[in-house]
Amino acid sequence: MSAIPPIPLSTLPEQALGVRTHCPYCAFQCGILMGEDLGGDMPRVSGDPHFPVNNGQLCIKGWSSAALLQHPQRVTTPQLRDEQGSWRDATWGEALDFVASKMIALRDQYGADVNGVFGSGALTNEKAYLLGKFARVALSTANIDYNGRFCMSSAGAAQTRAFGLDRGLPSPAADGEHAEGVMLVGANTADTLPPMMQWFDRQKAAGGRLIVADPRRSSTARVANLFLQVTPGTDLALANGLLYVAIEERLTDEQYITGRTTGFDAVRAIALQYHPARVERLTGIPEAQLRQAVRWLATAHSSMVLTGRGTEQHSKGVDSVHAWINLMLALGKVGKPNSGYGTLTGQGNGQGGREHGQKADQLPGYRLIEVDAHRAAVAQVWGVDPSALPRKGKSACELLDSLGPGGIRSLFVMGSNVAVAAPHLSRLEPKLKALDLLVVCDAFHNETSAHAHVFLPVFQWAEEDGTMTNLEGRVIRRRIVARPPTGPRSDLEVFHELATRLGCGEKFAFRTAESAFNELRRATAGAPADYSGITYAKIEHQDGVFWPCPSEEHTGSPRMFTERFAHADGRAKFFAVEHRAAGEEPDAEFPLLFTTGRYKEHYNSGAQTRTVGRLVNAQPVPRLEIHPRLARRHRVVTGSRVTIESRRAKVEFVAEVTPDIRPDTLFAPFHWGGRSAANLLTSAALDPVSRMPEFKLAAVRIAKVKT
């Protein structure tokens, strides 16, 4: 389904034209206009027809975003657990004193790394930057990571290794309109990035072809020219099989391979082991469709492959992305106009959130914490000795797995709902309960704060200023468009107050988001993700600035790799990769594949969208998609309550019988917590490079059916 059509600016009442800002949800970061509603007290939201990414289009979440403001469930007072385990209101001074004193006491008794920090791809660049600085300077802990590890880390790792740099899309999203061939792999953009579909609608209208590879005939797949209903966990084999056909049919660009890449011989040798007959057995895709897909990509003047979480959230996610990059490099498409490879980043600031120091192994600007020169550059900006900075810490899953006695005893969570978003949730809940200190900074209670000792209420998206970096690498402004209620504070103030109590408040004394951004600019100068030439004024003037932007005279870099790649020799690197088994494969005991995804009405862990009546009414419960053939075998009808069991847990879902899912596969969304949490079923098998969990494949069985 395409996004809601744009409203012409001329038809909007004057009061609605308000302030230009951006949607709080996905990484498309649609431009919105917020103004005073006629006869009401809630800001009016409309699509910004002048923002070139969404052109006035919004999805149902964007149209409903103002419902989060002045919400009756909003927490406005700091809260502490009393001795009976109930929440009681506290003053800010009392709550912050409690948090700081516990952190200090635990650090003094067990060492600095006993304090853990967990961030979010929803934080502004300024907050992501300061959270990393807070962990390493105020707490001196190595143990900081964030929920982006669950989302974009596999594509980020593969792009860095292949191209020398990770930017989700190497060119503006609008370039998709001009690509003669587009292939979406494991990406359901019609539900997850609905306004992006306008570019594919225009691409098809101009005679282009859209290919979709997915285990489900999703809303996106239904509008494709060619749908490849791939077996979950076999995307790597599919890409290698397409490369086999390209080599066999002499569709590769040998001049490009020789002039702009290294390492193709090893990739060629492996690809030639993936005969279409073998690939058909692995993936379920007929040979005729394999040949059709690669011919469309290869013979088009311009073509691109875009992957999503369906490809990346596997224990071989990095290798799977490499296989798609290999294909597009071999076809000579990367760096060409309206062509190449990209990844569809999920979270609102998923791109910026992974650039500025929330990851366990990174410092701002994609600098690496284990590289001495990188440590020295950032330490100079922070005014600390490089030796005082901790080294690499634990990745997200490993950090959460180490919670409790003998490991991390204190966890500071900002903007993330780990009790829904993490894999193998039945293992995580007792670990959260075992913490000496769990602090949650958010606007609403969620499944994670149910186990917290302290809740710190902070501003929401429309109540704060700052920058975000969308999936194109476009740095944009989030503006203050609503007055917060009395009580909550800004995250910048929380950092400053806690740092003051921890003895380094002067290093966090930022009065405005812009002042924090200016320090971020200095910290990224000369780094791969160089923001040093980006200013708030330039963002305003240009409708966002694409990084890298190394000087104030530079206008930004909307298109990457047109002349050279970011490796020292300027060439892209092929990586030879082979299909291998998932972390968990179906067997006689657990014979079915289970995969997860999203609804267009909800977002990630649902902490925000499950508070909005319009969205809850549209999708009140998670529904299990099951093929009619499998449903008949187990006497399941639409509306049956079906209990699914993996090796880790059981979850009951309401069934939806549909031919859109593969007969060997079950699907459910992951937006719900508690006993409806899909991630109770998933495993914590990790990719060896990115440390991405295997959300998209678990072996399950149907344990019980109630009609």
- DSSP for 195-207, please give it: GGHHHHHHHHHTT
Mean pLDDT across 551-558? 96
Radius of gyration of the chain (CA): 24
**What is the reported pLDDT for 42?**
66
C-alpha 22/C-alpha 544 separation (Å) is 11
Omega before residue 337 within 30° of 0, cis = no
Residue 707 DSSP SS3: coil
Nearest to 33 by CA among 2, 4, 67, 65: 65
Please check whether residue 339 is in contact with residue 179, taking contact to mean a CB–CB distance below 8 angstroms: yes
User: Quick count: other Cβ atoms within 10 Å of Cβ 211?
Assistant: 23
- DSSP conformational letter for 7: P
Q: Maximum Cα–Cα distance for the chain, whole Å?
A: 72
The answer, yes or no, to whether residue 177 has pLDDT greater than 80, is yes
| 262-287 residue pLDDT tens | 999 999 999 999 999 999 999 999 99
**What is the reported pLDDT for 605?**
87
Please check whether residue 650 is in contact with residue 590, taking contact to mean a CB–CB distance below 8 angstroms: no
Identify the residue whose tokens are 């395409």.
2
Q: How many residues does the chain have?
A: 707
Residue 397 DSSP SS3: helix
**What is the reported pLDDT for 346?**
79
| 76-91 residue pLDDT tens | 999 999 989 999 999 9
C-alpha 101/C-alpha 163 separation (Å) is 45
The answer, yes or no, to whether residue 8 has pLDDT greater than 60, is no
Mean pLDDT of the chain: 94
**What is the reported pLDDT for 482?**
87
**What is the reported pLDDT for 576?**
98
Question: Which sequence spans correspond to the domains of the chain?
Answer: 9-68, 79-150+362-546, 169-343, 592-706
| 591-628 residue pLDDT tens | 999 999 999 999 888 888 999 999 999 999 999 999 99
Query: Which helix (H) or strand (E) covers residue 368, if one does?
Result: strand 367-368
Indicate the CATH number of 79-150+362-546 among 3.40.50.740, 3.40.50.10190, 3.40.50.300, 2.120.10.30: 3.40.50.740
Find the range with the poorest average confidence among 360-369, 572-581, 597-606: 597-606
- How would you list the strands of the sheet with 19-22, edge to edge? 19-22, 31-35, 44-47
The answer, yes or no, to whether residue 59 has pLDDT greater than 50, is yes
CB hemisphere CA count around 128 (13 angstroms): 33
Q: What percent of the chain has pLDDT over 90?
A: 90
| Third-level CATH fold of 169-343 | Dimethylsulfoxide Reductase; domain 2 (3.40.228)
Per-residue pLDDT band at 38 (split at 50, 70, 90): very low
Find the range with the poorest average confidence among 15-19, 105-109, 210-214, 449-453: 15-19
How is residue 520 written in tokens? 């971020």
| Third-level CATH fold of 592-706 | Barwin-like endoglucanases (2.40.40)
Give me the residues paired with residue 342 across strands.
Answer: 306
How is residue 651 written in tokens? 């979850």
Find the range with the poorest average confidence among 301-305, 528-532, 669-673: 669-673
C-alpha 583/C-alpha 316 separation (Å) is 9
**What is the reported pLDDT for 148?**
87
Query: Which helix (H) or strand (E) covers residue 228, if one does?
Result: strand 226-228
C-alpha 155/C-alpha 343 separation (Å) is 7
The answer, yes or no, to whether residue 209 has pLDDT greater than 80, is yes
Per-residue pLDDT band at 151 (split at 50, 70, 90): confident
Residue 194 DSSP SS3: helix
Ranges of beta strands (E only) in 591-660 are 592-597, 623-626, 641-645, 650-657
Query: Burial of 39 by CB count in 10 Å (0-12 exposed, 13-18 middle, 19+ buried)?
Result: exposed
The alpha carbon torsion through 327, 328, 332, 337 (nearest 10 deg) reads: 170
**What is the reported pLDDT for 15?**
42
How is residue 168 written in tokens? 């989700």
The answer, yes or no, to whether residue 5 has pLDDT greater than 80, is no
Give me the residues paired with residue 79 across strands.
Answer: 89, 455
Measured in whole angstroms, the distance separating CA 451 from the mean position of its chain's CA atoms is 25
The CATH class given to the 9-68 domain equals mainly beta
C-alpha 158/C-alpha 689 separation (Å) is 9
| 93-114 residue pLDDT tens | 999 999 999 999 999 999 999 9
pTM: 0.94
* φ, ψ at 50 (rounded to 5°): -100, -5
C-alpha 656/C-alpha 286 separation (Å) is 27
Per-residue pLDDT band at 254 (split at 50, 70, 90): very high
**What is the reported pLDDT for 2?**
34
